[in-house]
Amino acid sequence: MLTISLAEPVPTPFDFEAAARSHGWSALVPFTWDAAAATLSRVQRLQSSGRVVRLHLREGHPNGSAPFVAVEVETVEPLTPGEEAEIRRAVRRMVRLDEDFSEFYELCAQAEGWTLRVQPGGGRLLRCPTLFEDIIYTLCTTNITWAGTKRLVERLTALLGEPFSGRDEWRAFPTPAAIAAAGPEVLRQEIRLGYRSGYIWELASAVAEGRLDLHEALEDPTLPTADLMRRLRQIKGVGPYAAATLLMILGRYEHLAVDTELVSHVSKKYFGGQPASEAEMRAVYAPWGRWQYLAYWFDAPD
Partner DNA sequence: TTCCAGGGGTAGA
Partner DNA sequence: TCTACCCATGGA
Q: Under rule CB under 7 A, which residues in 57-76 are in contact with DNA?
A: none
Size of the site for DNA (CB under 7 A): 32
Among 240, 267, 276, 290, binds DNA (CB under 7 A): 240
Q: Which of residues 4-63 bind DNA (CB under 7 A)?
A: 24
Cβ proximity of 53 and 74 under 8 Å: yes
One-letter amino acid for residue 48 of the chain: S
> Contact at 8 Å (CB) between 30 and 172?
yes
Report the alpha-carbon distance of residue 261 to residue 98 in Å, rounded: 29
Residue with smaller CB distance to DNA, 80 or 145: 145
Sorted by sequence, the CB contacts under 8 Å of residue 191 that are 6+ apart come out as 152, 155, 156, 159, 160, 182, 197
Q: Which of 14, 241, 291, 298 binds DNA (CB under 7 A)?
A: 241
Name the minimum Å distance from CB 195 to DNA. 4
Looking at 9-17, 45-53, 208-216, 231-239, which segment touches DNA (CB under 7 A)?
231-239
Q: Is 157 in the site for DNA (CB under 7 A)?
A: no
In the complex, minimum distance from the CB of residue 206 to DNA, in angstroms, rounded to a whole number = 14
Instruction: Answer for the pair 16, 37: CB distance below 8 angstroms, yes or no.
Output: no
**Minimum gap (Å) between residue 147 Cβ and DNA:** 6
Single residue of 37, 146, 209, 287 touching DNA by CB under 7 A:
146
The single-letter code of the amino acid at 249 is I
Burial 84-101 (b: 16+ CB within 10 A, else e): bebbbebbbbbbbbeeeb
Applying CB under 7 A, which of residues 6, 144, 159, 223 lies at the interface with DNA?
144
For residue 43, with 0-12 CB atoms within 10 Å meaning exposed, 13-18 middle and 19 or more buried, which class applies? buried
Minimum gap (Å) between residue 240 Cβ and DNA: 4
Distance CA 98, CA 127 (A): 13
Residues whose CB falls within 8 Å of the CB of residue 235, separated by 6 or more in sequence, listed in order:
135, 199, 203
Give the integer Cα–Cα distance in Å for 76 and 57: 18
Q: Could you tell me which stretch among 62-70, 76-84, 96-104, 253-261 binds DNA (CB under 7 A)?
A: 253-261
User: Which residues, 6+ apart, have CB-to-CB distance to 222 below 8 Å?
Assistant: none
The verdict on 261 binding DNA (CB under 7 A) reads: yes
Residue 142, interface with DNA (CB under 7 A)?
yes
**Given candidates 259, 267, 270, 276, which one binds DNA under the rule CB under 7 A?**
259
Task: Kindly tell me which residue out of 82, 183, 224, 239 binds DNA, with binding defined by CB under 7 A.
Answer: 239
53 vs 232, which CB is nearer to DNA? 232
> Distance (Å, rounded) from C-alpha 84 to C-alpha 212?
26
Among the listed ranges 7-15, 72-80, 145-153, 173-181, the one in contact with DNA (CB under 7 A) is: 145-153
The one among 9, 11, 13, 148 contacting DNA by CB under 7 A: 148
Distance spanning both ends of the chain, measured CA to CA: 49
Give the footprint of DNA on this chain (CB under 7 A): 24, 141-148, 151, 188-189, 192, 194-195, 199, 233, 235-243, 257, 259-262, 297
